[in-house]
Amino acid sequence: MSVAGGHLELRDVSVFYGERAALQSVTLDVSQGSQVAIIGPNGAGKSTLFKALVGLVPVRFGEILVEGHPSVEHRSAVAYVPQREEVDWRFPVTVHDVVAMGRYGRRSWLTKLTPGDREVVDACLRRLGVADLAKRPIGELSGGQQQRVFLARALAQEPHVLLLDEPFTGVDVGTREATFALLAELREHQVTVLVSTHDLEMAVSRFDRVVLLNGRLVSAGPPGQVFTKANLQEAFGGQMVVVDGKSIVVDQCCGGHGPVGAPDSCRCDSCDDPNCTDGEQNP
């Protein structure tokens, strides 16, 4: 793996779905090789941030720079592993094909993979422990195996920036540890990594920097500096309860936490909390 340069810069970035802002005026500087946890309640814009970084949703205002260039010109430098629920697992492709897709950011779909590409694909399959599954359809694998295949695909892209959306949700301990081992390796190679997670404890113990979002940027920096009671309250609002002076985040209910520009309405698409009525106001 080559040593990468993965400096990211968001300048006053706003993303809308229709007329509704999902991210508003986010300014953020992520230095090369840092590993950053993206934290925020459901609907805070974490996935939207990642999608904007890889061009899956348009930036309405502001700009995103990757290594000093507009992100549209630098797409292949950024690899994205979506949340499992965003993937159509019925798509009839083998594990090998999925990982090989990582190479196509660098070439046209009409050209064949070179022997060098194939070596990279095989190495990534081995690196994530899924080489013996190469011929299996992706849809037949367990959640943890699917996650490893997507990590292998991202690695095959030889990215300078890696975005992992909720990689620890619904996976087995082995995959979780394999993911952390990969992150340690990427750190050595100075690959910039952004990981969205609900796990504040993990963010504190495993990441250099954290970004707290709630449609806007609440705070960014070292965890000790960002996870103040005031910042957590601002990000999580009604989703935060305080027990024995310690802040506990309950990220299931929209809890009266409003979206950008509409402070009294719900930002969640699907509220899991049976006692929450906010979701009914904005289904």
Give least dist CB 41 to ligand ADP, A.
Answer: 7
Give the single-character DSSP code of 94: B
Q: Least Å distance between CB 121 and ligand ADP?
A: 30
> Shortest gap between Cβ of 194 and ligand ADP (angstroms)?
12
- By CB under 6 A, the residues from 177 to 236 that bind ligand ADP are none
Residues 6+ apart with CB under 8 A from 11: 27, 62, 63, 64, 65
Verify binding: residue 258, ligand ADP, rule CB under 6 A.
no
Short-list 95, 59, 62, 98, CA closest to 79: 98
Among 33, 82, 223, 259, binds ligand ADP (CB under 6 A): 259
CA dihedral (14, 161, 184, 118) positive or negative = positive
Task: Give min distance, CB of 48 to ligand ADP, in A.
Answer: 3
Q: Identify which range of 39-47, 69-77, 103-111, 197-205 contacts ligand ADP by CB under 6 A.
A: 39-47
Q: Note the maximum CA span of the chain.
A: 61
**Of 35 and 47, CB closest to ligand ADP:** 47
For ligand ADP (CB under 6 A), the number of binding residues is 13
Segments in the chain forming alpha helices (H): 46-53, 95-101, 115-127, 143-156, 173-188, 200-206, 223-226, 229-236, 278-281
Query: In the bound complex, what is the minimum distance in angstroms from residue 42's beta carbon to ligand ADP?
Result: 5
Nearer to ligand ADP, 44 or 53 (CB): 44
Contact call for residues 200 and 211 (beta carbons, < 8 A): no
Write out the two tokens for 222.
């070292």
Interface mask (CB under 6 A) for ligand ADP, residues 40-59, using x and -? x-xxxxxxx-----------
Residue 255 lies near ligand ADP (rule: CB under 6 A): no
Rule CB under 6 A: say whether 267 interacts with ligand ADP: yes
- 177-187 in b/e form (b: 16+ CB < 10 A) is ebbeebbeebe
Nearer to ligand ADP among residue 43 and residue 167 (C-beta):
43
Contact in structure between 147 and 179 (CB atoms under 8 Å): yes
Q: Are 99 and 156 in contact (CB under 8 A)?
A: yes
Distance CA 39, CA 203 (A): 8
| Minimum CB–partner distance for residue 263 and ligand ADP (Å) | 14
Angle of helix 143-156 relative to helix 115-127, nearest 10 degrees, comes to: 140
Q: Looking at beta carbons only, is 54 or 100 nearer to ligand ADP?
A: 54
CA separation for the pair 186, 267 (Å, rounded): 34
CB of 20 to ligand ADP, least distance (A): 6
Please tell me the total number of residues recorded for the chain in this structure: 283
Residue 88: both structure tokens together = 């159509």
Binding residues among 1-20 for ligand ADP as defined by CB under 6 A:
17
Residue 6 or 41 having the CB closest to ligand ADP: 41
Nearest residue (CB) to ligand ADP, 51 versus 127: 51
Site residues (CB under 6 A) for ligand ADP? 17, 22, 40, 42-48, 259, 267, 269
